[in-house]
Structure 1
Amino acid sequence: MSTFTPAPLDRDATFYVAGHRGLVGSAIVRRLEAAGFTRIVGRTSAELDLKNRDDVFAYVAELKPRYLVLAAAKVGGILANSTYPVDFLSDNLRIQTNVLDAALAHEVERVMFLGSSCIYPKLAPQPIREDSLLTGHLEPTNDAYAIAKIAGIINVQAVRRQYGLPWISAMPTNLYGPNDNFSPQGSHVLPALIRRYDEAARSGAAEVTNWGTGSPRREFLHADDMADAVLHLMEHYDGPEQVNVGTGTDVTIREIAETIGRVVGFTGETHWDTSKPDGTPQKLLDVSKLASAGWTAKIGLEEGLDRTVRWYRDNVDRLRG
């Protein structure tokens, strides 16, 4: 068993952030830089294809990181997940297995695996506790992605059991912030709404149409809060069970759409295409385990949305195409 005692991480040790350009990974890099880490390392997908096992092993062998956060993943919203389930299953399983196997082969001391709240059953009791994992059927629109993430959790638990390494997992709720995916085809609900309402406001459109009924409830956490929680857990938590990371509060999709419309200055009407799927009716995480580890979210939704919209508008030209 692990004899590891949670403590401040060595600021001068090599810290590999897999997926350092993405929404979560870039936020983690910013947080680590602010905390004084001096050897934060990452590779773009063009520099290192994490689906290529030999290349991943060679890179980790050369790098010899002491700490590793696995934030790299193929991600998307309902449309992408339901259209390309094979890609979401295969790509994520390969990324996770390659990185975690390479980390094990080179005895990386502290690994944080990041999943998603979609790992929990579609009809799990709300708010969702960590022990709801594997107690019911998944939401069918993203079951392939969820199965891959569940496999990652089991991988971490297996390493703890077989090798005694103090690896941990965290399951964030819906995240948003700088460097999110704002593409019309591949984005999650919040960045998709930001883009839709911003474009409508700019063009003077009279209406916006969203998928579903607007009634599902969702919890949203700013990526900078998530990054802060990751560092906190790596320094204060050691256990086999994944830790939920969220705010502990939720809003309806209709409410979030209205808030985004207000933030971007949209003055038209919003319509709902009820022929489109809603997805899971509610997905609120129980964050009591996280709170007992000494961490709570700090960035309010209105503040976080305002910051995210400003970032989107500053980068919208780069994001097109």
Structure 2
Amino acid sequence: MSNNFKSADLFCEYYFTWIMVYKKDAVRKVTLNKYFMTYQWIIKLAPKLKLFELNRITYQQLLNDYATCHERQTTMDFHHQLKGAILDAVDEGLINRDPTRKAIIKGKTPTEKKLKYLNQFELHTLLSSLSLTPEINWDWFILLLAKTGMRFSEALALTPKDFDFIHQSLSVNKTWDYKEGTGFLPTKNKSSIRKIQIDWQTVVQYSTLVKNLPEDEPIFVKGRVYNSTVNGILSRHCKQVNIPEITVHGLRHRHASLLLFAGVSIASVAQRLGHSSITTTQKTYLHIIHELENKDVDLVMRSLSSLN
């Protein structure tokens, strides 16, 4: 790229070319779109910034401007997407020194995100209202999400071959591209490839359901699938039985909270959900962990008082 660019050229133009050379056809479309979104922000915040003008101050100012309307984590992602291109420009001699060194990441205070999930009675009420016919339908899909905590795209990609009924397990090793309709895709990350244990009732039900279905074809996908369609079906069920409305992703949260309250370790919950690290699980379910800690304190106090 150094033969095509000079230090007096615009940074935004260099960044666009860098995306096309290094990222196009090398990353998933959703990731590529994030790079293009970063490119749009460069045009908006620093359209006239030239490569030779990139130093620690001008770069920090770019980050600060972005951070005024984004949370800190989003600003961190913005920084990481810029850094790769900038370091390449340094290697090519277009920028004298690394301007990203010791960058300070700022951002708006994150809005409190309260997870919507059902209590155990409400979940039982919901599952009792499902129409579990002899043929596969979206109600069977909802039941499976509630019992496994899988992501929407992971459950869509399930084939009869993924069920191991003898060992009561389910293999998650791919996703279904419901957004673009291109078929099977890799999982979100390496940690998402996993085996999920399933209960004997689910084994009995699904062994009959998938018995005569093609081994390598998705069980639930019949034509184009939309997240909003399944959310609509779930919402109608919630209304019918007069419980709080949740989304299919809310079923994943409910599954995790059920395990945590039952005393399952955070490490086991993280593995079952396919989180890349325990930290992700801790951050997502911090409020539940705090509730459990309060219960532990009560238990400790009761135990100590019995020593008199």
TM beyond 0.5: no
Higher helix fraction: Structure 1 or Structure 2?
2
Q: Identify the structure with the greater strand proportion.
A: 1
Structure-2-length-normalised TM-score:
0.23
TM-score where L is the length of structure 1: 0.22
**Higher RCO, 1 vs 2 (CA within 8 Å, ≥6 residues apart):** 1
User: Bigger radius of gyration, 1 or 2?
Assistant: 2
